[in-house]
Homo-oligomer: A and B are copies of this chain.
Amino acid sequence: MSHRSVVAVDLGGTNVRAALCAPDGHILKRHKQATLPHDGTAAVIERLTQSILAVMPSTTDASEPTPSAIGIGTPGSVDPYNGIVLYAANLVWHNVSLRDHLAQRFRLPVGLGNDANLAALGEHRYGAGKGTRDMVYVTLSTGIGCGVILNNQLVLGSRGLATELGHIVMDVHAPAGVSGVPGGFETMASGTAIAAMAQARLSDGAPSALRDHPTVTSKDVGDAANAGDPLAREVVLEVGRVIGLGLVNALHLFDPERIVLGGSVVLIGDLLLGKIRDTVTQYAMQPYRDRPIVLAELGDDCGLLGAAALAWQTTDY
């Protein structure tokens, strides 16, 4: 039994999750409650505080070690240097100094990071990136998030806004998407893009089993593709090619040992993954072609374990 621990918090727009974690990533105790962001910032911070208290070791149970730090992952745009949530749409938060608030409340070092970066940190320490020094993590979901570890450290940039792979230009001739970027990677290759592309082809009158769905999700497209629907297969393969080219860019820019893929879109499975890997093998420059592209391993706990990994980094141990 280890005598050290950290508290990890995964603050999402839907749920606040907290855990007491051992150094090996073992979760000793967990707590989960609804975030209810529309109650306001103060109410959410109070809930967050309650969640942390709920996983603190009981004074009567000697098997639960006192935590030496707190790590918190939040959605949106984070200033990791100053511990501030700059902007989080689904929390309705602007410039919230979460780190200093919690550090004062709990008298512990507190680390704050955005969810994609912390998922990368979690996979690096406990999951599919274990044992690497240099790793790229990409999450393919409604959007595309990314975190990069070089020299065992998160790549943050001057203000913590680096590695926005989802917002790089992948087609200079395309119109500007939601983020303002023309042919942005996320606009072309996220789950949202898969659903939109299928929907557009249905509107063009192409035959498909997807016609029976009132609204088409990326999961519907994946399921139909795996059942052999030609329209859905075409969409998955086209998006798989663009994802592969985005990963080629990540390989050429960060030269990682490995790319770890997370997010709901990878659940589409081998049809998509095969196309992604084939595209990388075909288009990456020769020395980058052999880098393994593997699936994330931490599942629903990746946010918590990423926050735990960050907490360990804030301690001297």
Contact = CB atoms under 8 A, between A and B. Distances in A.
A133 interface: yes
Of A167, A168, A173, most buried by chain B (CB within 10 Å of CB) is A168
A283 B168 contact: no
A26 interface: no
A157 B134 contact: yes
Contacts of A182: 245, 283
State the copy count for this chain.
2
Nearest to A158: B134
B170 A170 contact: yes
B171 A173 contact: yes
A169 B248 contact: yes
Contacts of A248: 168-169, 181
A288 interface: yes
Interface of A: 77, 132-134, 150-151, 153, 155-165, 167-173, 176, 179-183, 188, 241-242, 245-246, 248-249, 252-257, 283-285, 287-288
12 contacts: A77-B287, A155-B155, A155-B254, A158-B256, A159-B255, A167-B252, A168-B253, A170-B170, A172-B188, A172-B241, A180-B285, A181-B283
